[in-house]
């Protein structure tokens, strides 16, 4: 038996919500396993100050029905053909971000000129944290910030010698049994690379909480505006 790899064309799903106030840039969210773009957009929308940003949630390409509920959810990848899936996903995210960032107007509000590149902050939850890290470090556009909640920096990003690391905020609930034991490894990596970073350990589990959202709002204000 032999295995061959066939390149094909597929379509991804991206939800976009324009800024209600003066445009600050783009916040691009990546959902976790068995979640959807709608769920991630809801979370990003709840971040303090989000009305000043164009918000987007990129849905993973591999869709399936959730057990019992029959909701359409998605997964970023499995261990099968992982390296090819990583490259496919990076190309998909690059194309999505180009499309999201391509407009020079947002809801009638004045934004940055089309000739300049808007600030981009990537936010990833759980499995989506790995994709957010890939977008920030291996993606085509330089990121202004990277926010990781409940998910670690994957090996393919850890092994890249790159100067493209933006400031990073890591969030982990003190009852997060999945990511809690891995935080220090990510912190050590960022320290070894000289990457500006902050770590928030909050009261909670593998989830978004109000404490984390408030911390993100403060971090965004400080990191992207220099306040």
CA-wise closest residue to 17 among 56, 61, 43: 56
Are 220 and 121 a contacting pair, CB within 8 Å?
Answer: yes
Percent of the chain having pLDDT more than 70?
93
- Hey, is 72 helix, strand or coil? strand
pLDDT (tens digit per residue) in 142-174: 999 999 999 999 999 999 887 889 999 999 999
Q: How many alpha carbons lie under 13 Å from residue 63 in its C-beta half-sphere?
A: 12
According to CATH, the superfamily of the domain at 15-225 is Alpha/Beta hydrolase fold, catalytic domain (3.40.50.1820)
Token pair of 160 as six digits: 């890249």
pLDDT at 23: 76
Token pair of 83 as six digits: 């390296």
pLDDT at 57: 98
- Quick one: how far is CA 209 from the chain centroid? 17
pLDDT (tens digit per residue) in 77-90: 999 999 999 999 99
CA-wise closest residue to 178 among 2, 33, 30: 33
d(CA 223, CA 226): 6
pLDDT at 138: 96
Taking only the tens of pLDDT, the chain with its 227 residues reads 999 989 899 999 999 999 987 778 999 999 999 999 999 999 999 999 999 999 999 999 999 999 887 899 999 999 999 999 999 999 999 999 999 998 534 343 334 434 457 899 999 999 999 999 999 999 999 999 999 999 999 999 999 887 889 999 999 999 999 999 999 999 999 999 999 999 999 999 999 999 999 999 999 999 876 55
* H or E, element range at 188: helix 183-193
């Amino acid at each position: 038996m032999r295995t061959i790899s066939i390149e094909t064309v597929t379509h991804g799903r991206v939800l976009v919500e324009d800024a209600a106030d003066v445009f600050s840039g783009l916040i691009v969210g990546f959902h976790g396993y068995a979640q959807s773009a709608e769920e991630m957009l809801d979370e990003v929308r709840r971040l303090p100050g989000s009305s000043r940003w164009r918000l987007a949630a990129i849905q993973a390409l591999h869709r399936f029905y959730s057990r019992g509920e029959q909701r359409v959810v998605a997964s970023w990848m499995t261990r099968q053909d992982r390296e090819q899936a990583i490259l496919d996903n990076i190309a998909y995210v690059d194309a999505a971000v180009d499309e999201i960032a391509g407009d020079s107007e947002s809801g009638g509000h004045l934004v940055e000129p089309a000739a300049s590149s808007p600030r981009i902050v990537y936010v990833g939850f759980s499995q989506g944290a790995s994709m957010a890290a890939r977008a920030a470090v291996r993606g085509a556009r330089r990121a202004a910030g990277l926010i990781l909640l409940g998910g670690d920096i994957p090996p393919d990003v850890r092994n890249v010698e790159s100067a493209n690391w933006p400031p990073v905020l890591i969030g982990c609930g003190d009852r997060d049994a999945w990511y809690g034991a891995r935080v220090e490894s990510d912190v050590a990596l960022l320290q070894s690379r000289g990457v500006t970073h902050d770590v928030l350990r909050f009261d909670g589990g593998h989830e978004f909480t109000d404490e984390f959202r408030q911390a993100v709002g403060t971090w965004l204000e400080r990191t992207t505006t220099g306040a």
